[in-house]
A and B are shown apart, each in its own frame.
Chain A
Amino acid sequence: MFFGLPITGETIAFFLLALIIIVSAVFMLSLTNVMHMAVSLVGVFLGVAGVFILLGADFVGLVQIMVYAGAITILMVFSLMLTHRGLGEHAVREVGAMRGTTTFAGIAVLVAIVLYAIRNAQWPGNTTALQPFHQSTVTLIANAIFQQYTVPFELVSAVLTVALVGSVVIARKEE
């Protein structure tokens, strides 16, 4: 038993992924070179994708890898390159120690309360199945998106178009 959980392959995989996610996130917050920060971000995104796949959401996990670990990280790296003269430059001035400590303490209290609540609340029973759905998740997601959530889906496509055009207009050089 490990943290009250039986030791199975799933548990070991979960704790490895959680370790990767948290270590990468702490690295991201503590490194001083912004380029290293962006690279450790990939660890967080890949770890979260692994958690999705562990939860039986294979399609969402692959979308996470494509959109986050692929597109968003590259976008971040490009904008870091465009806004930093000389990439060896260290991160800009940090907040004062007083404010940093206060923020950390406040967030630690918040997270501790949430963890306590999670530990003591009644949750729906354990599922032993790695994949609780009886069909492939791609089929189920397609049915949900194209039948039940058609209008939100179309709205998302409108939002993406507006964001694309808007960001081109905003980032363009003024003539």
Chain B
Amino acid sequence: MALQPFLALAAILFGLGLYGALTKRNLIIVLISIEMMLNAANINLVAFAHFLPKPNIEGQVYALFNIAIAAAEVAVGLAILLSFFRTRDTSDVRDMNSMKW
């Protein structure tokens, strides 16, 4: 097994996530797409940790930190979504304009 197939898979998954994050209107779906992009980055980290000439565990440690930060991000994002939905009754990203002047 070589390194390239893993990098290609990560690139395709990142592209799909980016497409979802840019075109979807529902805030939850946008958050899900961002999670897919973070997963693609984690695949890259773990693949490089495996295939370096001298295999190194640090890629996996960074992937773990990444997962922890992503979980915190989702929790805060969904809390903001709930509070937004309570006042505006919608979860459309275009309606999130109350902090714009």
Contacts and interface: CB of A to CB of B under 8 A. Distances in A.
Nearest to B85: A83
Contacts of A41: 32, 35-36
Contacts of B2: 5, 123, 126
Interface residues of B, number: 69
B25 A93 contact: yes
B23 A25 contact: no
Nearest to B59: A57
Contacts of B33: 29
A5 B92 CA distance: 45
B99 interface: no
A163 B55 contact: no
Nearest to A100: B23
Contacts of A84: 91
Interface string B10-26: 01111111111011111
A152 B70 CA distance: 15
A34 B28 contact: yes
A22 B20 contact: no
Contacts of B76: 163, 166-167, 170
B7 A118 contact: yes
Given A91-B26, A92-B91, A44 B82 contact: no
A107 B86 CA distance: 34
Interface of A is mostly: helix
A52 B79 contact: no
B96 interface: no
B71 A72 contact: yes
Contact of B32 (A8, A37, A83, A110): A37
A123 B51 contact: yes
Interface in A65-87: 67-68, 71-72, 75-76, 79-80, 82-84
Nearest to B38: A68
A160 B42 CA distance: 19
Contacts of A18: 5, 9
The 3 closest A-B pairs by CB, nearest first: A167-B79, A163-B72, A132-B55
